[in-house]
Amino acid sequence: MRAVDRVLAVLLAAAGLVLGVLVVVEVVAAAVDRGPVALPYGPVAAWLRGTPWSAGAAVAVAVGLLVLGLLLLLAELAPRRRTDLVLTGTDPAVTTTLSTRSLGRLLEVAATATPGVERAAARARARRARLSVHVPLRDAGEVARVGREAQANATAALEELQLRRTPRLRVRTRQETR
């Protein structure tokens, strides 16, 4: 959601900047008794002066803006996904956290430390972590053994952290042929 927030903020800021510059240009042009420069506001201003607030078009625009504002408000008030995991500590006054990205890296390092594992990729969330282990061996029994060792190493690394709430670990072993 953060990426969406950033893109939306940039788009709204750019639109506001462009609109602000256009308004300044039009105000300066009106001050020196010139007609519209970039925005033909004459017909729009005439329509606005002749349209009462109770007209269907005015009400539709107001309702549309209200709905857009409420959607933006709800998008910002929606709870975000947790990205920090709390570790247990000896001092209750201190809270130590670990990001889910760091947990994923830790699981990858623990898995790649296993002999026979070529590479590993992990994704961690608050409740579950997924680890994909790539083994370049041909023997299926050997691949399964290396996968179990990698899972044991990753589980040990996860338990060593002493998280308040340990995510469930799911390990998938992939056999790579060369």
- Tens of pLDDT along 65-109? 999 999 988 887 887 777 888 888 888 888 888 899 999 999 999
How many Å from the N-terminal Cα to the C-terminal Cα in the chain?
39
84-175: what CATH class? alpha beta
Quote the CA–CA distance of 176 and 114 in Å, as a whole number.
16
The residue with tokens 């430390």 is 113
What length is written for the chain? Answer: 178
Per-residue model confidence (pLDDT) at position 178:
60
Q: Is the pLDDT of residue 155 over 60?
A: yes
**Which ranges constitute the DSSP H helices of the chain?**
2-31, 41-50, 56-77, 100-112, 140-160
Burial per residue of 111-150, b for 16 or more beta-carbon CB atoms within 10 angstroms, e otherwise: beebeebeebebebbbeebbbbbbbebeeeeebeebbebb
Q: What is the mean pLDDT of residues 152-177?
A: 90
Confidence of residue 1 (pLDDT cuts 50, 70, 90): low
Distant-in-sequence, close-in-space partners of 71: CB < 8 Å, separation ≥ 6 = none
Q: What is the mean pLDDT of residues 103-118?
A: 93
Structure tokens given for 82: 């947790």
Per-residue model confidence (pLDDT) at position 72:
83
Q: Is the pLDDT of residue 166 over 80?
A: yes
Domain range summary for the chain, segments of one domain joined by + = 2-77, 84-175
More confident residue, 21 or 40: 21
Select from 122, 137, 118 the least CA-distant residue to 177. Answer: 137
Quote the CA–CA distance of 168 and 146 in Å, as a whole number.
20
Per-residue model confidence (pLDDT) at position 108:
95
Quote the CA–CA distance of 166 and 124 in Å, as a whole number.
11
